[in-house]
């Protein structure tokens, strides 16, 4: 019996990360209203969260530890981030203060920095995505820790760039595979 052939799960994970990051960061940058949080929560649970976890597990199945770790971790990050937003509104936990949120996001920045190091032997677009995500997490962490709205706004623009790069890589993977040639370069 011929083993099942899996498609490439990376575009799903990249889109889950990219699109959810873009939406949240548009809110941080002030480009969409604060009332859009409900939309971002739904996106974070289902596409940023669940879809990335699925993509991560499929990457592990393919033997890709880097992508499996990246997608599964970020999928669970989105679920964690949404839980932190929702639990206080449901009366199940106290709201997280800015300094604590800054510490949490800072730890994720440290994770991103190590993942960035792992991209140094990958195509340039990976270094751009993970490098900008590292900067994004540290900038947002500083904004949360200090309470400085301008810093979080700057982080929002960094995140829009980072998410757009992930979106680009997802489309490059899909289009290059679909057409059987390099339609969009990845460096």
Q: What is the pLDDT of residue 133?
A: 98
Radius of gyration (Cα) for the chain, nearest Å?
Answer: 17
Q: What is the pLDDT of residue 6?
A: 79
Nearest to 129 by CA among 159, 155, 165: 165
**pLDDT mean values, one per 10 residues, the chain (187 residues):** 82 97 97 91 96 97 96 97 93 94 97 98 97 98 97 98 98 96 93
Q: What is the pLDDT of residue 187?
A: 86
- Distance between CA atoms of residues 177 and 9, nearest Å: 12
Q: What is the pLDDT of residue 49?
A: 97
Report how far apart, in Å, the C-alpha atoms of 103 and of each of 38, 72, 73, 108 are: 24, 21, 17, 9
Give every CB contact of residue 66 below 8 A, 6+ residues apart in sequence. Answer: 115, 118
Q: What is the pLDDT of residue 120?
A: 97
Q: What is the pLDDT of residue 119?
A: 98
Report how far apart, in Å, the C-alpha atoms of 66 and of each of 10, 38, 63 are: 11, 31, 9
Q: What is the pLDDT of residue 176?
A: 96
């Amino acid at each position: 019996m011929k083993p099942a052939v899996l498609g490439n799960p990376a575009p799903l994970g990249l889109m889950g990360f990219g699109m959810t990051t873009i939406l949240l960061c548009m809110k941080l940058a002030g480009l969409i209203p604060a009332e859009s949080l409900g939309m971002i929560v739904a996106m974070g649970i289902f596409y940023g969260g669940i879809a990335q976890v699925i993509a991560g597990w499929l990457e592990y199945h393919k033997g890709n530890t880097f992508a499996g770790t990246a997608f599964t971790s970020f999928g669970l990050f989105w679920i964690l981030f949404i839980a932190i937003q929702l639990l206080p509104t449901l009366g199940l936990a106290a709201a997280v203060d800015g300094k604590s949120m800054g510490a949490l996001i800072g730890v994720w920045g440290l994770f991103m920095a190590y993942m960035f190091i792992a991209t140094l032997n990958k195509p340039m677009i990976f270094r751009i995505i993970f490098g900008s995500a590292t900067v994004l997490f540290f900038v947002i962490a500083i904004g949360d820790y200090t309470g400085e709205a301008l810093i979080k706004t700057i982080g929002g623009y960094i995140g829009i760039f980072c998410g757009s790069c992930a979106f680009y890589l997802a489309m490059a993977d899909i289009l290059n595979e679909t057409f059987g040639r390099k339609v969009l370069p990845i460096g």
